[in-house]
Structure 1
Amino acid sequence: MTAQRTYGGISAQERRAQRRVALLAAALEIVGTRGFAKLTVSGLCARAGLNERYYYENFDSRDAVLAALIDGIAEELADAILAAVRTAPPDTRATAHAAITAGVRLLTDDPRKAKVALIAGMATPELRARTTETVRVFARMVAAEGIDFYRMSAAAPDPAIDFRAMYLVGGLVQTLTAWLQGDLDLTRDELIEHTVDVFVLLGEDLADKRG
């Protein structure tokens, strides 16, 4: 039985995971360079070097492929931002700068990730709904970090905190999308600095009002 489950020391489960990774890497290249419309089963499998049956082993639609890709990028983004916050100096601007820089760099060092997460993620109603939920998740993360940083009471939900967090994250998504499409004449460093200004302004203003 063991010989049937393993091949070259790799289990069937591990091989399936490797094939999934290969398919997602191929999807990132196709969607990130050519757009969601160019994502086909045959093209994806050819790019990944896999038989089409392995596609259906992992996914049942193009939306499912892109959703998995977006989820993976969102996880990378959250990890990068939280790591930056944990190692930043205990100063409002330094912390905001570290977090925003980490997020923007992750998405723009590899422009394919930004195009997938911010542009292709709006391609269908299902993907738009998923992207909206991802924004909510990051807004909750921003709210939690703000409450912790400013030592604000979190005994009960505060609509003002939730509003500002959603405003900041949603606004950054729209701004970064516009920048990627060439609608904002800013360098990446300028984009980061302006974003930090807004985050610090709204965060400190709310902390002062609650203080």
Structure 2
Amino acid sequence: MTEPGLRERKKEATRQAIRAAAVALYRERGPQAVTVDDICARAGVSPRTFFNYFDSKEEAVLSLALTPGGVGAGLAARPAGERPMASLRAVFTQRFEQVENDPTVQERALLLREHPDLWARLAQTSRFVEEAAAEAIAERIGRSVDDVYVRMTVLAAFAATRTAFTCWHPGAGMGLVALVNQAMDALEAGLEPPRA
């Protein structure tokens, strides 16, 4: 895998600066009190630059970890014959290992705890990622993207990651990847209650 070029690194740095500014402002002022212009001023970019990267302030705040392209490519690269839930777990944990210590991701976890109403917006933002996952799983097992097994598997995996994020306290307790694995383990065990 080749390293990204200077242009790609600069683009990613700009994307990260916008995300960090958006999350910080949301925590400082609350979601309703933040505008795109506020985010641009904090990040040192123009509104035109902002909209080259994000469609809305919500997308800048909420689209931090998983992307449709990343999930689709990650699933396509998994070994043939691997169980779908195992493939989803591998892709999710690999990505969360990369971002678990990112201060912006940690700040966003705290933001979601402070403003639980943002989970509904996060679900809207995540639907494109879920769709990419469903398409990749359907292709891997030779079923329709609207097959009940495909949809149920993908939605269960995403529910597990949401549960992990909900239970995550950055800087204290279990880490995000460990929580994702714990949630996936519970799914694969048929949601049997843990023993005392």
TM-score of the aligned structures, taking structure 2 as reference length: 0.58
The answer to whether the aligner puts 1:148 opposite 2:143 as a matched pair is: no
Point out the structure with the larger helix share. Answer: 1
For 1:57 and 1:101, how far apart are their aligned partners in 2?
31
* Unaligned stretches of 5+ residues in structure 2: 1-9, 191-196
Please tell me the root mean square deviation across aligned C-alpha atoms, in Å. Answer: 4.5
1:46: how far off?
A: 5.1
1:35: how far off?
A: 1.6
The answer to whether the aligner puts 1:48 opposite 2:43 as a matched pair is: yes
Extract structure 1 runs of 4+ deviating beyond 6 A.
Answer: none
Q: Is the 8 A contact 2:88 2:157 kept in 1?
A: no
For 1:105 and 1:32, how far apart are their aligned partners in 2?
22
* Unaligned stretches of 5+ residues in structure 1: 1-17, 203-211
TM-score of the aligned structures, taking structure 1 as reference length: 0.55
The answer to whether the aligner puts 1:191 opposite 2:172 as a matched pair is: no
Name the % identity. 19
The answer to whether the aligner puts 1:65 opposite 2:51 as a matched pair is: no
Amino acid at match of 1:144: E
5 Å-filtered alignment, 1:1-211, equals: 22=14, 25-29=17-21, 31-32=23-24, 35=27, 37=29, 44=39, 47-49=42-44, 54-55=46-47, 64-71=56-63, 73=64, 77-90=67-80, 91-92=82-83, 95-113=87-105, 115-116=107-108, 119-120=111-112, 123=115, 129-151=120-142, 153-154=143-144, 157-180=146-169, 185-197=173-185
Q: Name the counterpart of 2:6.
A: none
Q: Is the 8 A contact 1:139 1:162 kept in 2?
A: no
Amino acid at match of 2:73: A
Specify the SS of the correspondent of 1:89: coil
How many residues are aligned here? 172
Specify the SS of the correspondent of 2:134: helix
Q: 1:119-151: CA deviations, max 9, x gaps? A: 4599596x5554222233333233223222233
1:37: how far off?
A: 1.9
